[in-house]
Structure 1
Amino acid sequence: MFGYGLLYVIYAFLSVVPDLNPIYFLVASIPVALSGGLITIISGIYAYISDTTTVEKRAFRMGLLDASLFGGLVVGAYLSAPLFFIAGQYGYLTVFATSATFYLLGYLCVIFIPESVHVSHVGSSSRGLCSLFDKQLVIRMITTCCKRREHYGRAIIFLVIIAVSTCVITMEGDSAVSFLYTRDKFGWDIRTFTQFGSLSTLISVFGTVAGMYIFSVWLRIPDSMFASCVFLTKCGQTLICGLAPKDWYLYVGCAVGILGGVSGSLCRSIISKTVPLEDIGTVFALTSVVEALTPIAASPLYTFVYNATLLTFSGAFYILSSAINFLDVILLSCVVVLQRASPVHPYSRIQVPE
């Protein structure tokens, strides 16, 4: 959080320097890169939730986390433009300073949160700043995730990680070319597309909170079964969007995929109930690394598909997303089978004091 705060502080200073070479803005990325960036934040938050919540409430709490992230995106999207125009010639300075303020406030909140785990030995001879570049920590992460586990734990972990990474591919890929699709097929401009994106995000926030409470907390449907059904609804959503003859079909697709936002939370909840508490942070770290790498392939893949099918079937990339989501349905169905083939997992019965 402090690294991102420094990022926007530097952005704010650089934004008022006239005729500045854009290469200097790369300097602002150094604090984020050294502190771990978004991977560290997300992994840490999910691990903390796993450490401090009961098994019954864990998926719902993770869903609230995703809902807060989606909600923050909507609020930020609506506030950035007014802030920019109200500030006039200091528009960039105002936007970057506001972002820096919120990140630094978040940092102050984080430092007062009590630690859930006290680590006395991390399996490395390096200490301090040198431990950031210790390859033994990377080796430890890989060996922890790959070691043999009872009750098909290793197979479940990698099935879920694959499902999470392919889910990121569809989200990043769709976002890369969906505006081009709506512009070419329905004549949308950027304002119409932004309004649609904000509405779909709000629908996702509502679906995440309500879906987690109804299906996970109230009905107590197992996470793996719930996740497979969610990916099935995402298949329907992308099919409707890809085959849409009119633009209002896109809103129907959003309604069909209203529960799509819970997929990431459910997958992480499955992982947290498959490994012991001391391994959760390590497995989440590998999951986040895979999530961070998959967008590198997603945008070029979807751009290639869209360009190749633009004149014949411009919605083909949505059909690709539907096929990938169906693959995730198969992966989560395999998880359901593996869990039913084994006795009740001991980690799913752990009660963590709140």
Structure 2
Amino acid sequence: MVENEERLTERSVSEREPAVNTISELPGKKYGITVEVPMFLAMLGISLSGTAISNIILYRTCVHSLHHDKAECQVFLGPDKSNSSRQLEEEVQKYVTFISTVKIVLESVGPAILSFFLGVWSDTHGRKPLIVWPLLGMALTSMMVVVYSMLEDYGPWWYVLTAIPYSLTGGFTVLFTGTFCYLTDITSTKNRSLRMTILEAMVSVGSVVGGIASSYLLKAVGNVYLLLIVAVLNVISYAYSNIYLRESLTGAVRGGFTSILDLLLVKEMMRQCFKRRPNYGRAQILLLTVANSLSIFILYGIVGLDYLYAREKLHWAMKEYTIFSAASTTISFFGSFLGVGLVQKILPVGDLMFSIIAFLSSAVEYFIRTFATLTWHMYLGAGVSLFKGLSAPLIRSLITKILPVEDIAKVFSLMCALEGISPLFSPAIYNTLYNFTISRFPGAVYMLSGAICIVCAVMLAFVKFYRWRAARPAYSPLQE
């Protein structure tokens, strides 16, 4: 690859060409809370409703799709699990994984398309729409889920239709693009890693609180009112973002949906992301992007199977699973702050090396889960992967530090486009593998996840090598 072109820079645009840099920190907002609040509320809602809606879908699949007796299927609605119907459990799970695959694909089509356009679009029209629109879609979807949960005669396939507003407004793929671009605009290179880690931490806190509270709220108020609480949280999140958040891009021009689907936006994104750069700069960007996207590939593939695997392999009920999920997320939360706030300040460990460690520790956790037979095995895996939550924010932080500011949103757009495509294939691959191995080796999905994490670590190792090679001083031969 040609090495004599423009150099990856760690200087801001203001140092190189002040006229280009129209992105600046908002007055008085340098350390203020901004996008963390809606992200916390969104994840809180997801965690509160996750296992509850899973139980509803298991029950309605059992009754409406497989035509079993309601009394026989009632076991799926309770927070406690009975191990007396193992054969029925496997039959229902296989059907539910198919429904989940279709729903996730429907959820992902919109974000996959929009993510190709919105990153570059936001350089002109601002970051706030990329935050407000997905939150509106989540609020509408959660309201539809409430209505669905009240209509007991409707089968599990009707639930798939609730994904339409979420998909059309971009979902979490576009939301994360908007929030990370927003943080890039309002932070400096000195505090960017910390702010992005705080954002990931707020997502983790929402997940922990929701995971712990879900089983207790389910017992206290029931399915419908729990889902109604989630809908209210999503409405509050949308209202907060729409009213309180200020646009971070100076000189942003208002633009609606009609200005989004412009192929010139995709062409510009591709041109900037794939143009040749010195010191294997293009390879570095693509390796970082693919490694981060593969971690999302794992997330979308495994997220719908964690609970099913725990029920099948360890005979957990919803209560045991939510406690473990909360504990695992709490460990990751403290690991992230320990890594960025303490370890990086004491030891000379950069963003890239910490991301490699995060991927390797995640691989170890997945291998432990693969062969887990006791409850403490799962908690051991969570403890080993203390720093697993650092890979995504540190990769994004590194990208913002090595790219000119005008290219950051375009690379984030490519990254989120790949993340948006992942759910179109990941659930199908994971669910198919799980269905084929559920009776003999249900941990095969975790074995696959661990292997992918190792591949990601190798990719980042190549980036580390390229950056080390570029940083080596060039020595001249000795003259006699």
Judge same fold: TM > 0.5, yes or no: yes
Alignment pair present for 1:176 and 2:304: yes
Specify which of 182, 193, 201 is matched with residue 59 of structure 1.
Answer: 193
Following superposition of structure 1 onto structure 2, how do residues 149-160 of structure 1 map, counting pairs within 5 Å? Answer: 149-160=277-288
* Offset at residue 254 of structure 1 (A): 0.1
Q: Once the 2 structures are TM-superposed, how far is the Cα of residue 15 of structure 1 from its aligned partner?
A: 4.6
Relative distance call for 1:141 and 1:239 in structure 2 (3 A) is same
SS, match of residue 340 in structure 1 = helix
Secondary structure at the counterpart of residue 260 of structure 2: helix
**Cα distance in 2 between the residues matched to 1:314 and 1:73:** 25
Report whether the alignment pairs 1:228 with 2:374: no
Deviations 1:36-73 (A, max 9, x none): 44333211221232233332332222111111112122
What is the TM-score with the length of structure 1 in the denominator?
0.83
In 2, Cα distance between the equivalents of 1:229 and 1:6? 36
Inter-partner Cα distance in structure 2 for 1:16 and 1:246: 39
2:235 is the alignment partner of 1:100: yes
User: Compared with structure 1, are the counterparts of its residues 305 and 85 closer, same or farther at alpha carbon in structure 2 (3 Å cutoff)?
Assistant: closer
- The structure where helix makes up a greater share of residues is 1
Q: Distance in 2 between matches of 1:195 and 1:234?
A: 20
Aligned equivalent of 2:276: 148
| Aligned residue number for residue 251 of structure 2 | 118
- Kindly indicate whether the alpha-carbon contact (under 8 Å) linking 1:166 and 1:324 is maintained by their aligned counterparts in 2: yes
Unmatched tracts of structure 2, length 5 or more: 1-130, 473-480
Report the Cα offset of residue 332 of structure 1.
0.6
1:237 lines up with 2:365 in the alignment: yes
Instruction: State the shift of 1:335 in Å.
Output: 0.5
1:25 to 1:182, Cα distance in 2 relative to 1, 3 A: closer
Partner of 1:8: 139
CA distance in structure 2 between the partners assigned to 1:176 and 1:244 by the alignment = 18
2:436 aligned with 1:317: no
Offset at residue 104 of structure 1 (A): 0.9
- CA distance in 2: counterparts of 1:176 and 1:93, whole angstroms: 22
State the match for 1:287 in structure 2.
415
Return the match for 1:42 from 173, 176, 188: 176
Q: Give the whole-Å Cα distance in 2 for the aligned partners of 1:297 and 1:273.
A: 31
Amino acid at match of 1:100: V
**Alignment match, 1:70:** 204
Distance, in Å, in 2 between the alignment partners of 1:169 and 1:220 is 30
Q: CA RMSD in A?
A: 3.1
For 1:275 and 1:250, how far apart are their aligned partners in 2? 39
* Cα distance in structure 2, aligned partners of 1:320 and 1:14: 32
Cα 1:343–1:128 change in 2 (3 A) is: same
CA distance in 2, matches of 1:24, 1:246: 34
1:283 & 1:333 partners in 2: Cα distance?
Answer: 20
The Cα offsets for residues 296-322 of structure 1, whole Å up to 9 and x where unpaired, read as 222221222223333333322222111
Where in structure 1 are there 5+ consecutive unaligned residues?
Answer: 121-125, 345-354
Q: Within 2, Cα distance between the matches of 1:10 and 1:258? A: 33
